[in-house]
Amino acid sequence: MATAVTLGAVEVLVRIFWNKLNGPTVIPLTLKTHRFTANPVMGYELVPGSVAFEDNAWYRINQDGIRDRDYSRTKPNGTFRIAAVGDSSTFGFGLELENTWPKQLERELQRTNPHVEVINFGVMGYNTPQEAERIQDKVLGYSPDLIIIGYSLNDIGVFSRERRVLSTYKGYNSFLATGIGFVDKLLPHFKTYLLIKNRLFLKKTNADTRPPQYSKDGLKFLEKGYNRYFFDGYQEAENWNILNAAFAKIRALTQPQIPVVFVIHPELQEMDHYLFTEIHEIVKKLCLDYGFPVLDPLTEMLSYKARDLRISAANIHPNAMGNKIFAQAIARYLQTASLVK
C-alpha cells in the first residue's frame, strides 16, 4: 500500500513539473502517430488507433490508419464517397480534424446532398509517389466514387519531417516494451514511465545529439532556400521523371473507373507579389497531359493576405480559413462539373 501511495505521489509530481523535468529529452510526438512500413515508396504510414496532441491540435488516427472517424469499407447504399488524398495540407497540420478541407468540403456538399462522405486519407509529409501508393494500399479498398488529390508544390521532391523523425528516433516505440499487450498499452499513460524511457533511450542512442538525417531534397532545400528549391526541382530530370511515373500510376489505378481531380495548394506567402504562378502552370499542364481535371484556387486565395490564411508567421500551412476557402472552391467546381451524384 505504501509503495502504491509513493508511486502515485511521484506520478503527481512528475506531471506537475513535466516540462521542466523532461526538458531537453523531449521525444517528438510524431512517433506516436507514424511508423515505418514495408512499402519502400511509402516509407511510413499512420499508426492505427494512435492519438497525440501535437502542433497545437489533436491528431486522432482511426483503426485503419486514417485521420478520420471509422468508416465501413463497404460503402452504404446511396452514399457518394469522396476520398481526399494529400500531404500535411490535407491531413491538417496544426488543425483539428473538423477544420481540415476534406471535412469542410463534406459539410459544404452535405447542404444539398446529405449522403456525401469525404474521407481524409491525407498523411503528413507525403509526396505524389507516396500518394499513389496510398491510393493503391488504402483508398481503393473504400470504393470511392471520386478521388480528390491536394497537390502541394513541394510534391516534386521528398521533403518530410516525419521520415526524418522516424529515422532519427528509430527503435523508440519498442524500447522498454514488455511484450505484454495490455501492459504496453497502459504504461505510456504514466508520465513517470515516459520520463524514464525518454532519458534512457536518449542516453543509449544519442538521438538528440546526432546530426539530423535529411533527404536529398531536404539538403537541397537547406542549401538553396525555400523558393529556389521549388523552381529548380521542376527542372531536374530525376525529380520530374519520378513525378511523371507517379501520375502514370495514379492513372493506371483509377482510370476510367474512378474520376480523379487534382487541386493545387497555393504557397501562402507574398500573396501581393505571388512568386509561383509559373509552377502552377507547369502542374496544370502535367495534370491535363495525364487526362486529370485540375482546379487551381489561386485566384480566390490571392484576394487575401497570407497572414489571414496561414497557421502563423512561422507556419505556412493553411489555417481553418485557408482550408474553408479551399473547400468552397472545390465544392463550386464539383457542383458546376456535376461530379457529385
- Confirm whether 135 is domain-assigned: yes
Rounded to two decimals, the pTM is 0.84
Q: 10: burial class by Cβ within 10 Å (0-12, 13-18, 19+)? A: middle
Read off the pLDDT band of 81 (50, 70, 90).
very high
Q: Is residue 255 part of a domain?
A: yes
Instruction: Write the pLDDT tens digit of every residue in 166-190.
Output: 777 777 777 777 788 777 778 777 8
Measured between alpha carbons, how far is 324 from 319 in angstroms, rounded to an integer? 9
- Selected residue with higher pLDDT from 174 and 80: 80
CA R_g for the chain: 21
Residue 232 lies in a domain: yes
Q: So what's the pLDDT on residue 255? A: 95
Domain count, the chain: 1
Instruction: Give DSSP secondary structure letters for 124-148.
Output: TT--HHHHHHHHHHTGGGG--SEEE
* Domain of residue 267, residue span: 75-160+214-336
Q: Is the pLDDT of residue 20 over 90?
A: no
Mean pLDDT confidence for 34-52: 90
Residue 282 lies in a domain: yes
Smallest CA-to-CA distance from 309 within 107, 317, 146, 166 is with 317
Alpha-carbon distance of 68 to 70, in angstroms, equals 6
CATH number at residue 87: 3.40.50.1110
Percentage of the chain exceeding pLDDT 70? 87
Q: Is residue 143 part of a domain?
A: yes
How far apart (Å, rounded) are the C-alpha atoms in residues 235 and 233? 5
Q: How many alpha carbons lie under 13 Å from residue 287 in its C-beta half-sphere?
A: 22
pLDDT score for 202: 77
Confidence category of residue 264, pLDDT binned at 50, 70, 90? very high
